Amino acid sequence: MCGIFACHHHPNVQQFKPTALKMGKAVRHRGPDWSGNWIANNTILVHERLSIVGVDSGAQPLVNDDETVSLAVNGEIYNHRILRKGLKEPYNFKTHSDCEVIIPLYLEHDIETPRFLDGMFSWVLHDKKQDRVIAARDPMGITSFYLGRSSKTPGAVYFASELKCLHPVCDNIISFPPGHVYDSNTDKLTRYYDPKWLVEPDNIPTKPVDYKELRATFENSVRKRLMAEVPYGVLLSGGLDSSLVASIAQREKLRLDELAKKRNGTSNGVEADGHAAGHLVGIDDSNELATVNVLPDLHSFSIGLPNAPDGIAAKEVADFLGTKHHTFTFTIEDGLNALSDVIFHLETFDVTTIRASTPMFLLSRKIKAMGVKMVLSGEGSDEIFGGYLYFHAAPSKAAFHKENIRRLENLHLADCLRANKSTSAWGVEARVPFLDKKFLEVAMNIDPEEKLIKPGRIEKYILRKAFDTTDEPETAPYLPDKILWRQKEQFSDGVGYGWIDALKDNAEKHVTDEMMKNPKAEWGEDIPDSKEAYWYRTMFDELFPSYCASTVMRWTPIWVKQTDPSGRAIETHNQKYEDKA
């Protein structure tokens, strides 16, 4: 991940520059490798870089030869080599960065540019000749992005990766909607990501599940996200989603190792010239993953309280796959001490997000300390396949499908926000294969009847079945059966049941019954429904102005009576774990 800040149409951009640089510095944790800025007309772009691809030459903002188009990007464009080859007009690329292709794409396709991109991204592009700004966010909002305005500078528009860059200079801020593009010529946001399943939620798919297609599409999604020139790993909770990601990544590593050995005459992970193997991985001109060196061991990471359910399962998966696994533990005191920092970085007061983000935030710090800059993660699967336990109560396939869509539309305010900001807080990038555009197209056009949780069918049955090789003796199993068919354990539960219990207990100490009866007037109708929620909201208010609260969404289940978002609070959570935490 990187951090960006931009302002277009500022009345005195030179005078504003020191402030703009300060706002960019507020997200330097996202991009600790280099800082850059560019001014053209009355627009300034500020960039804080985390280098993953084009490490030696991808400093930003990026500018074309005649300095008429400038660009600041946060993200990864996986199909950049294909796009470079498909350009109609020659373009003088100055870097190996995957993001630079956005400039010539804009010169050829204008406002339609984001439709061509396969990746996760937030970017701001300035056209000096037109004095025009185009800004866009990836289809599902994997990268965080905000748009702001200020009553002190009417006519100016501001963009940033995080709220903390905007609230000092803006008094009106929104979360930039995923799958949209902004054009300063019209001062409007327009949807560019418009698959039928998303824009026609009442049109219920009827396509039967094709297990081979589902598996192949997801495998390709993981492959393309291994594009990197730096050490990387996988977040491994021991649940189905992260375990499948780890399994495919490890299989791909072993495949590429064999390919590299054949090409280079290597053996035992050492190149023919005797030097240690490198870790360069890239997408070739056929959009396939390729490497010229034997890859290092695939590292996997998990965290939890001592003897947590997820930690035990993650170790089983790692042993089965042969990854170099790192199990970290945290104490309840560690988690409680980090809460204020978590809320500062996450910029939310949502109960579910804070519960799950705290261990992920602590884990990301450990990962960065080991020199790893990119990880794969399993977010998105539960939204696509109805993996949350409350989906057991879905009254019909139409309702199930619409809830899938609602969850996906709000991911940028929930799990995407958590994964992006928990890792970016320490300069680590999280990539999420389940939210690949092609995979979404396949998975969201399956008849939701196939996804319904019925007697004899556990949640996410079709995903599990797609990777069940019981009837394929020629194919090595992806996961042990006990993991492949393990019941859903939401992350904030799986790290150890004592974690949520401790949060509730501490909220009781900080929030009185009298406080619950008298919420703050500025909260309006957005009243916390528990002492835990009240506690988080007061911490948020200490860090951010009240108008920032409109960018926050509360995560709540439907079809069930309880309001606690913990999976453990749902009646169908019948898996028994011995809690030693």
Q: Are 144 and 420 in contact (CB under 8 A)?
A: yes
**527 assigned binding-site residue:** no
Task: Report cis status (omega within 30 of 0) of the bond before 61.
Answer: yes
295 is in an annotated binding site: no
Gap between the terminal Cα atoms of the chain: 34
Residue 98 and residue 78 in contact, taking contact as beta carbons nearer than 8 Å: yes
Supply the DSSP symbol for 276. B
Encode 279-296: b = buried (16+ Cβ within 10 Å), e = exposed: eebbbeeeeebbbebbbb
> Known binder of ligand: residue 235?
yes
- DSSP codes joined into one string, 504-525: HHHHHHH--HHHHHS--GGGTT
Write the single-letter amino acid at 144: S
Would you say 274 is a known binding-site residue?
no
Q: Pull the structure tokens for residue 269.
A: 């992970």
Instruction: Please check if 226 is assigned to a binding site.
Output: no
Give the C-alpha separation, 464 to 487, whole Å.
11
Q: Would you say the C-alpha torsion 238, 139, 350, 461 has a positive or negative sign?
A: negative
99 is catalytic: no
CA within 13 Å, CB half, 413? 20
Q: How many CB atoms sit inside 10 A of residue 309's CB?
A: 24
Helices (H), 173-288: 196-199, 211-224, 240-264
Strand partners, 376: 234, 431
The pair of structure tokens assigned to 541 is: 């208010």
Active site residues: 2
Question: Which residues make up each annotated binding site?
Answer: 98, 235, 303, 377-378
Binding-site residue numbers for ATP are 235, 303, 377-378
- Residues placed in the known binding site for L-glutamine: 98
